[in-house]
Structure 1
Amino acid sequence: MSDARKRIVLVGASGVFGTRLAAMIARWPDVVLVLTARNLAPLEALAATLAKTRPAAGIEVARLDRLDPKGLAALTPWAVVDAAGPFQGQDHAFPRAVLQARAHYLDLADARDFVAGFEAALDAEVRAASRWAITGASSTPALSHAALDAMTAGWTRIDRVDAAISPGARAPRGLSVIRAILAWTGGPVRVFTDGRWATRPGWSDPRRTPFPGLGRRWTSLAETPDLDLLPARFHVRRDAIFRAGLELPVLHLGLWLLSLARRARLTSTLEPLAVLLGEAAGLVAPLGSDRGGMVVSAEGLDADGAPRLARWSLCAEAGSGPHTPAAPAAATLRALLDGRLGEPRATPCVGLVDLDAILHEPRDLPIRTRLESQRPDTPGLFARLLGDHWRDLPEIVRRVHAGVETVTLTGRARGRGAPGLAALVRRLGGMPSTGVHATTVVITPTATGERWTRRFGDRTFGSVIAPAKDDPWAFEESVAPLTFRFTVAPRPGGFAWTFEGWRLGPIPLPRAWGPRVRARTFARDDIYCFRVLGAHPWMGVIFAYAGRLT
């Protein structure tokens, strides 16, 4: 009796992204997953690991070199997924061989030149084989475009698009990925900016980019297929930028310094440094985290012709970041298996699967996403920051945080905190001592934000809240000489403040040295309630207070 299951050949299955994609496909009962690479030993180890998860798919292993795919036809593939890379500088011989074997082709390419020439190079073979050829089923361009489709649905104009990605320092580093980055670092990169095409050096323009849940990280101009596809598909009027970053400043800025050598024509490429830089990154990796992120922002006009900002972000915890590039490939392959893609063609992986389908694949992993939208001309700081979520808040919360007139609240609050140095900080800062206190809070709008005055019994604690000058999604609370940066996130019955960073005057301070601050405001029984906690690894709970005010 023949096996009716579709045979999926995964090339580069033992690599960083291939192993993650294999785990996703292994859950499907209607396929046989053939794990391939140049060496059998790591494939057999991967197959043994997958066997422990009781995979629904059949699992096989085979040796296959994408540069010399003589044994491909013998594997009788229904579809071939190339997760090997690097794709920079490669021709389209392998996808052509896949189509000649009458199999569908899918890859995780993020090489701009490879993706740009893909459709023209393979159109004839796709027509002859009546099979799909899909490139770029990865974070860029598949995930970035799916996010933008969700963010800008119904918009009448898009003026600016910014996308950025930053893996955690402890994330696994494949040598092919390092070589791919070094291939364009310091070299000329064509980019659409200020409404026209211009040439900029790769890894130039280093700046600190906000990543919700991660704080601000250094990013620089990166060469990806999105630099071509974003302005073409979304008809961007002003800027279409993709940036990438390394979590540790010493690595990111160090690579920027190395890029100057190529810009000065002291070397034609930095690729020979791939092994050395990979080892250096491994040495300092313990100084970083296993948390990575991605952010996509857009600016334009909504369906009503009003100015609109939108942002989608992803925060991957506990080393789950490398699953993100694999998710679009899994979602696209699943749609292909289910017959949801229509007539075959050669195409970049944009507009084929939506954001929900992509995020369904890593659903069991600690990966959080958020989609935000706001009208930049909305009066009131918190009303603007919360955007479309503002109208869903209870009336008492909206009245308190409208930011258009002075609000005075009275009630009682309970304070607590650690003794010793933490108690001294509370005393000097005017924060409540342990116990229950009569409490008054006065919120006064100012020209640039709000002034908050809190009285807990005989202590007074004041601060100034204002929009962050360099981030339309953040605000800062200043308690001289310190300034703390927050974003807001909707919660049931109210919203939360999320700590993003801090500084001493104009000097940014390491987030790892800072306090852990959590704050939430909400309504209960039509009464305004709040909870605030500030703790530090060295001092314990510095301050904590909660109360009910009317």
Structure 2
Amino acid sequence: MQPFERSVLLVGATGAFGERLAAGLIRSGIAVIAVARNTARLEKLAQQLGTQISIEACERSRIDTPFLNALRSRYPGVYAVADSSGPFQASDDRLPRAAIGAGLHYVDLADARDFVGHIGNLDQDARSAGVAVLSGASSTPALSHAALDRLLADARAVISIDVSIAPGNRAPRGLSVVKAILSTVGQPVRVFRSGRWSEYAGWSLGKKVTLPGIGSRPVALCETPDLDLLVSRYHPKADAIFRAGLELGLLHYGVAALGLFVRLGLIKTLTPLARPLRAIADLLKPFGSDRGGMRIDALLINDKGDLARRVWTLSANAGVGPYIPTLPALAALKMLADNSLSWRGAAACAGIIPYDVIAAEFAHHGITAEQSETAAPPPLMKRLLGADYDTLPAAIRDSHDVSGVLVLEGRADATSPDGIITAMFSRVFRFPRGGTNMPLRVEMRSENDGSETWTRIYPDVTMRSNLRNVDPFTHCLDEVFGPVAIRLEWKATDSNLTLHIVGARLLGLPLPSILQPRSSARESVDNNGRFHFDVDIAMPLVGSIVRYKGYLTPAALS
């Protein structure tokens, strides 16, 4: 292929991603026909990129098959349509249909779950036309799956996958990107978690991730095609989640706070706030950095049969972050131009463009990628109790064998005295108030820092805590409920496991004995050979707060 012998019709060429994709195509010897609404911005882009770019001022909605056929008569070298316009949450399939009708390949940077998920409806038409229609040729799902194909190549089984994207605060924020993010904040998002599909609010399930050379960044649940594709392509037993975040805590947690209004039904969506929120974000651009990256965490059984954590990270130098979403599309368009991609049809761009082809552009932009594997630590209770753990009955050990994710299901009874104070404690700590033979589901999850998060799901309340700061010499650990940390001492015998409260802290400050809760808790095996628990919690000067007891058995994950 001679330089600039082929050309791409690039829709949304003046956007943050469109400009960068246009530059990459021209640098690769592919001419660009830039399409956007604003003629002035198109002319400015043409001045920046030189003679190998032509401009067409046009609305995306006006591009149909006759338009593309007329374009082909004027530009005989055009072979593909690339769409970087967005937000794809509000888009339909008219443009890819028009490309198919004109016999042109189609590649987009879509990150909208439904748009990418439905692109397969065009598969037969694309095959008949002999063209490739690739949706999501961006950070998600194209790059995330290219990295995962390498990361999981020899895995015997996949337990969980966690993908995170964390851009720098000074990265350009197009209005379409802001709208895409806000469209799902506070909305119910379907997620595969703990071995089943459940709904969580957009921008919930927050945590922090560490990126080499960048540091710690907050991320939260974000709806993208990966939430479906990670499950369908890699079949994790427990989790598949995608998160994104904003570098500045003020913005990241501010968006989360606004999401509460959506969850409470006070407002329908945050999308109408896109312009004012973008303006606020622009005012804060002097703060933070212009460095960003990606991280993928996978818990798996490796080729040796061992439980392991594998991590892939990508870090971008200053100002480079916005190029990352364009690199899979650039790789796809280059492969289509030189006929090295023989695949035809319509599908999400996952597992189609090889990692090495995408990564070939990393060095040019100063992007670094790393991959590592570490052995997953033994379950927390085994580390806490040491040799005593092995003396416990099998039913108790099985109910603490958290190798990534452990789910228990059973039944429980709960009693709590009436009164304002007991009701207050139950509300703060999310204790069950009362009931008999209630269904109970407990999800126990090992975290990257070695702690475990336990989530007890009763019919009307969910109680969540984190167990950390294990001391195997004293058999003590902290169980943390928000700002309160309870220090627990565990004792194992050949018949049961008991625990007692030996201290408490509020916001890191020790509580005097008179303010510390009292607990008598015992784990044993019932007459049916099942794990049985009995927990009684009280407060000095108040008396009993709650008592709950019942049985649990391990639930099979998918």
If the length of structure 2 is used for normalisation, what is the TM-score?
Answer: 0.65
Q: Please show how residues 481-500 of structure 1 align to structure 2 within 5 Å.
A: none
Q: Are residues 1:74 and 2:73 paired?
A: no
2:133 aligns with 133
One-letter identity of the residue aligned with 1:349:
C
Q: Please show how residues 510-529 of structure 1 align to structure 2 within 5 Å.
A: none
Q: Distance in 1 between matches of 2:335 and 2:68?
A: 23
> Partner of 1:364: helix, strand, or coil?
helix
- 2:362–2:368 Cα contact (<8 Å) kept: no
Q: Deviations over 1:353-384 (max 9, x none)?
A: 22221121242222221111122359xxxxxx
1:49 aligns with 48
1:59 aligns with 53
- 2:139–2:324 Cα contact (<8 Å) kept: yes
1:117 aligns with 118
> Partner of 1:67: helix, strand, or coil?
helix
Between 1:105-114 and 1:328-337, the stretch displaced more is 328-337
Change (3 A) 1:3 1:362: closer
One-letter identity of the residue aligned with 2:62:
D
Quote the offset at 1:470 in angstroms: 5.9
1:107 aligns with 108
Quote the offset at 1:32 in angstroms: 2.5
Quote the offset at 1:46 in angstroms: 1.2
1:93 aligns with 94
Change (3 A) 1:127 1:356: closer
Quote the offset at 1:3 in angstroms: 10
Q: Distance in 2 between matches of 1:377 and 1:164?
A: 22
Q: Distance in 1 between matches of 2:146 and 2:206?
A: 26
Q: Distance in 1 between matches of 2:225 and 2:3?
A: 38
The percent of aligned pairs where both chains have the same amino acid is 44
Q: Distance in 1 between matches of 2:41 and 2:90?
A: 26
One-letter identity of the residue aligned with 1:83:
S
Q: Distance in 1 between matches of 2:508 and 2:39?
A: 55
Q: Please show how residues 214-253 of structure 1 align to structure 2 within 5 Å.
A: 214-253=214-253
1:192 aligns with 192
> Partner of 2:276: helix, strand, or coil?
helix
Q: How many aligned residue pairs are there?
A: 379
- 1:135–1:349 Cα contact (<8 Å) kept: yes
- 1:89–1:113 Cα contact (<8 Å) kept: no
1:373 aligns with 373
One-letter identity of the residue aligned with 1:181:
I
1:145 aligns with 145
Q: Distance in 2 between matches of 1:99 and 1:339?
A: 17
One-letter identity of the residue aligned with 2:115:
F
One-letter identity of the residue aligned with 1:165:
I
> Partner of 2:319: helix, strand, or coil?
coil
Between 1:204-213 and 1:311-320, the stretch displaced more is 204-213
One-letter identity of the residue aligned with 1:28:
S
Quote the offset at 1:284 in angstroms: 1.2
Quote the offset at 1:300 in angstroms: 0.7
1:7 aligns with 7
Quote the offset at 1:212 in angstroms: 2.4
> Partner of 2:296: helix, strand, or coil?
strand
Change (3 A) 1:280 1:196: same
- 2:25–2:31 Cα contact (<8 Å) kept: no
> Partner of 1:318: helix, strand, or coil?
coil
- 2:120–2:346 Cα contact (<8 Å) kept: yes
1:263 aligns with 263
Q: Distance in 2 between matches of 1:148 and 1:65?
A: 36
Q: Distance in 1 between matches of 2:49 and 2:178?
A: 27
Q: Please tell me the root mean square deviation across aligned C-alpha atoms, in Å.
A: 2.2
Quote the offset at 1:7 in angstroms: 2.3
Divergent runs of 4+, >6 A: none
Q: Are residues 1:178 and 2:178 paired?
A: yes
- 1:184–1:202 Cα contact (<8 Å) kept: yes
Unaligned runs of 5+ in 2: 73-77, 379-447, 453-468, 470-506, 510-558
Q: Distance in 2 between matches of 1:123 and 1:149?
A: 23
- 2:217–2:245 Cα contact (<8 Å) kept: yes
- 1:47–1:60 Cα contact (<8 Å) kept: yes
2:20 aligns with 20
> Partner of 1:105: helix, strand, or coil?
strand
1:285 aligns with 285
- 2:295–2:312 Cα contact (<8 Å) kept: yes
Between 1:144-153 and 1:361-370, the stretch displaced more is 361-370
Q: Distance in 2 between matches of 1:113 and 1:218?
A: 26
- 2:167–2:247 Cα contact (<8 Å) kept: yes
Q: Distance in 2 between matches of 1:213 and 1:197?
A: 35
Unaligned runs of 5+ in 1: 379-466, 477-504, 508-550
1:40 aligns with 39
Between 1:185-194 and 1:307-316, the stretch displaced more is 307-316
Change (3 A) 1:320 1:350: same
- 1:323–1:362 Cα contact (<8 Å) kept: no
2:420 aligns with none
Q: Distance in 2 between matches of 1:374 and 1:354?
A: 25
Q: Distance in 2 between matches of 1:291 and 1:32?
A: 30
Q: Please show how residues 288-437 of structure 1 align to structure 2 within 5 Å.
A: 288-376=288-376
Quote the offset at 1:11 in angstroms: 0.7
Q: Are residues 1:205 and 2:205 paired?
A: yes
Q: Distance in 1 between matches of 2:40 and 2:69?
A: 22
- 1:64–1:72 Cα contact (<8 Å) kept: no
